[in-house]
Amino acid sequence: MSRTLIAGLAALAALAASVAVAQAPPSAEIKAPDGKVLGQAVFRAAPTGVLVQVKVSGLTPGWHGMHFHAKGDCGDMKFLNSGAHINHAAMPHPHGLLNPGGPDMGDLPNIFVGADGTAEAQVFTSLVMWSGEGSLTDADGSALVFHANADDHTTQPIGGAGDRIACAVIK
């Protein structure tokens, strides 16, 4: 094979790889308070919201609250740097998917973790957008936070979901 053909094939392969990487949907590592990676969340922008696919392990079995928090910062061990739920001033609402005055923009369905400590879920929310002003990827980003208990979808401020046990930075 000629050097020109080999160089051309190598360039084509590099281009194909870069296109494949560029088209991969955004994702974020889900981490425990000690920094251990527990899984991954993949985000897909949709015309009317965001589709989130979660794969996680190492959590206690049962239902866990899952919410979008206002800041893309999971740097402290209790994940308090992530702030409260996304609840932009333009659309402030009380917490809860079942609350007559809600939901707030950070509300998501609970996730069920099996006896082996693993869970996979795919959820869609029309309460937020992926990009633009007041979106998941605004200037300070946001976080996908998992809680120790289930969210009852009505109680203020977080549905009784308890401590923050895992967090993923969304930028």
CATH number at residue 56: 2.60.40.200
Question: Sign of the C-alpha dihedral, residues 126, 129, 134, 136?
Answer: positive
Within a domain: 73: yes
C-alpha to C-alpha distance for 17 and 142, rounded to whole angstroms: 29
pTM: 0.85
The reported pLDDT for the residue numbered 5 is: 41
- The string of pLDDT tens digits covering residues 28-80 is 999 999 999 999 999 999 999 999 999 999 999 999 999 999 999 999 999 99
Within a domain: 45: yes
Within a domain: 19: no
More confident residue, 15 or 76: 76
Separation in Å, CA 88 to CA 51, 93, 139: 20, 9, 13
The angle formed by the CA atoms of residues 123, 129 and 134, to the nearest 5 degrees, is 135
Burial class (CB in 10 A: 0-12, 13-18, 19+), 171: middle
Range of the domain at 122: 25-170
Within a domain: 160: yes
The reported pLDDT for the residue numbered 9 is: 44
Within a domain: 150: yes
What is the total count of domains within the chain? 1
